[in-house]
Structure 1
Amino acid sequence: MNIGVLSSISIVLMVFNFPLPPFPSFLQVDFSDVPALLAAITMGPVAGILVELFKNVLDWLISGSLTGMPVGHIANFTTGILFILPVYYFYTKLQSIKGLIIGLVSGTTSMAIGMSVLNYVLFLPMYTFFLGTEPMNESALKDLIILGILPFNLFKGAIIMAVTIVVFRNIRVWLENQRTQFDRA
């Protein structure tokens, strides 16, 4: 498989996003990080980052953005990188299901904490600026981060973790062959 194919699969999966009822509706789960993760595991971290980049650029060009600027797409790109890089690191160090699970837990933690901080200092202020709305007061912003964004990303990470483990178990031999072929090239 190559970056183009995985990017295409990723953008299709991104279309099938869905909100989780207890969380704010702008937070949506999709499985588009799984192909990026497969790209990183089989072809290296740059391939995973490129899949994340291509899916977000294409989705922005196709769907547009509520703010006119790709704030959500930049946040999605950042979320994906925060998730896939720890998985890549631990999986390549241990090259086992144990390494994958340690990586998935680390990636979920990195994504949840990193996006909480980045939403607080960057993404949520950017949204309010580009939408032309009043900035959130400090208390409401902290509540949104602590009660919405942090638990959402932990839950999203757990869902993606479960899907990745199921996919990994079904295509493990193929993935190892792809990794071997990529390493030889």
Structure 2
Amino acid sequence: MDWMSIVALACFFLVLVFTVKIYGDFNPRPSFNPVRFMARVAIFGAMATLLYVVPVFHFTLPFLPSFLEFHFDEIPAFICGFAYGPWAAFCVIAIKTIIKLPFTSTMMVGELTDLVLSTFYVIPAVLIYGKVRNLKGVALAFGISAFIQLVMSMVLNVYVLIPFYIYMMGFSESGLLYVVHQAIPAITDMKWSYALLGVLPFNALKDAMVIIVTFLIYRSIHVWLHWDGSKQKKKAD
């Protein structure tokens, strides 16, 4: 294990401890169990990490540029957030990002961009659903968060990611344009043409998949997620 992996694991535990501390301070309920909360967040963080880091869970589509990979690490973050709140959701996002950093191929810029996009995607939905816990709230939460994430993804690609690949990684703009042009001939430049015809449909399709899967899974297991055995203990007494 190299030093970066050790640092990543240390940060993983620090994020867990910090989240438990903050959550406990803002939710001073007698029933709050920090160990149970930490275990729940760690489980969802591990699932998100697998979906984010392991290549077998990634795939591309032939009608989109080959470097736009689908990965569904936001699903555990959504489910954890809906069940346990925004701090838990952000902790899951932070965990999968921190563990991915030692394996970065983009000088951490790609991972930090994913961190920002996942945060703007998941947290608004969790906050809205926390206020309106019904089907209308679910639709509103997913709709607003998807819109925010789509706008942010285009802005970050135009002003952060593409300039980074050109000026820091040494890729030529013409070379990048050639790659995306193979999949989408209508793209004419690596700015807003690429953002509107490449980034937007990619993220819209990905968001739709994430929303559908999240809704189906959370609807099936949300009762179990809040079960702590207290009712059974009372019956036994």
TM-score normalized by the length of structure 2? 0.68
Determine the C-alpha separation between the residues in 2 that align with 1:103 and 1:116. 20
Q: Is the 8 A contact 1:129 1:135 kept in 2?
A: no
Partner of 1:92: 130
Partner of 1:4: 42
Report whether the alignment pairs 1:161 with 2:211: yes
Partner of 2:21: none
Q: Is the 8 A contact 1:36 1:48 kept in 2?
A: yes
Q: Is the 8 A contact 2:85 2:130 kept in 1?
A: no
Q: Which runs of 5+ in 2 are unaligned?
A: 1-38, 178-187, 229-237
Deviation at 1:152? 0.9
Determine the C-alpha separation between the residues in 1 that align with 2:173 and 2:167. 7
Out of 131, 139, 151, the residue aligned to residue 201 of structure 2 is 151
Residues 32-111 of structure 1 mapped to structure 2, 5 A cutoff: 32-61=73-102, 63-65=103-105, 67=106, 69-111=107-149
Q: Is the 8 A contact 2:162 2:190 kept in 1?
A: no
Q: Is the 8 A contact 1:112 1:151 kept in 2?
A: no
Determine the C-alpha separation between the residues in 2 that align with 1:147 and 1:46. 34
What secondary structure is seen at the aligned counterpart in 2 of 1:19?
A: coil
Identity percentage of aligned residues = 28
Determine the C-alpha separation between the residues in 1 that align with 2:123 and 2:200. 19
Deviation at 1:135? 4.8
Cα-to-partner distance string for 1:130-179 (whole Å, 9 max, x where unaligned): 2123457993322211100011111111000110111011112124547x
Partner of 1:142: 192
Determine the C-alpha separation between the residues in 2 that align with 1:156 and 1:20. 11
Instruction: Report the residue type matching 2:90 in the other structure.
Output: I
Partner of 2:181: none
Partner of 1:18: 59
Deviation at 1:83? 0.9
Cα-to-partner distance string for 1:67-103 (whole Å, 9 max, x where unaligned): 3x01111121112111101211221111123212221
Out of 208, 215, 223, the residue aligned to residue 173 of structure 1 is 223
What secondary structure is seen at the aligned counterpart in 1 of 2:66?
A: coil
Deviates more, 1:135-144 or 1:43-52: 135-144
Q: Is the 8 A contact 2:150 2:200 kept in 1?
A: yes
CA shift in 2, pair 1:134/1:111, >3 Å: same
Q: Is the 8 A contact 2:59 2:70 kept in 1?
A: yes
Q: Is the 8 A contact 1:116 1:149 kept in 2?
A: yes
Q: Is the 8 A contact 2:46 2:96 kept in 1?
A: yes
Alpha-carbon RMSD: 2.0
If asked which structure has higher relative contact order (CA below 8 Å, sep 6+), I would say 1
